[in-house]
Structure 1
Amino acid sequence: MFYFKLYDDKRLKDLKHSKKIEIVNNAVKLYRKDKPLNITSRLLAMLIWGGIPAVVLFLVFSFGLAIGWFALSIFILEIKLANDESADVETYLNQVLE
């Protein structure tokens, strides 16, 4: 995932990149154990922000533009959702670092 804020945490500053990834992934796993991913809301968000505009673009313009929009919107949506979750995952980062 795209937990950019967690990778830039000051406590991980002196660690190697692979160690940072391992620590952040472990924190995300602990977070997911306590708060599982709500697949329904994620799929609904992808449909609303990616699928419906892609269908409109397909009908108005072309297939290529619709596919491009759908891929780009899902990418941006995943970054936004990971960014929103970073504050919650940060408490689990403390547990992993201890």
Structure 2
Amino acid sequence: MARPRTVPENWDVRAREIGVRLQQARHELGLSQEDVAYRVGISAYTYQKFEKGESRPGTPLNPRLTTLIMLSEVLKVEVETLLRVSAQGQ
């Protein structure tokens, strides 16, 4: 039997911070959301949700590891930079 998932405290804040970092990196490269989504192999809708810090409406961002790595490669940002925890997200 699977153990129920518990969401870490302040995960919604952390997820939103990741979304902001994704958006900043995209803007620095002059890419559209559609460009990033296409290069990563996800839908534009999914990427738009990621920038909002969501996986689905009302659900905090929780991408697959492969998606996270592809995002870091496309946006030319280290995974560690995307996942950095600020004082606000602790």
Which of the pair is proportionally richer in strand?
Answer: 2
Q: Same fold (TM over 0.5)?
A: no
Q: With CA pairs under 8 Å and 6+ residues apart, which has the higher RCO, 1 or 2?
A: 1
Q: TM-score, normalised by structure 1?
A: 0.33
- Which one has the bigger helix percentage? 1
**Length-normalised TM-score, structure 2:** 0.35
Larger radius of gyration: 1
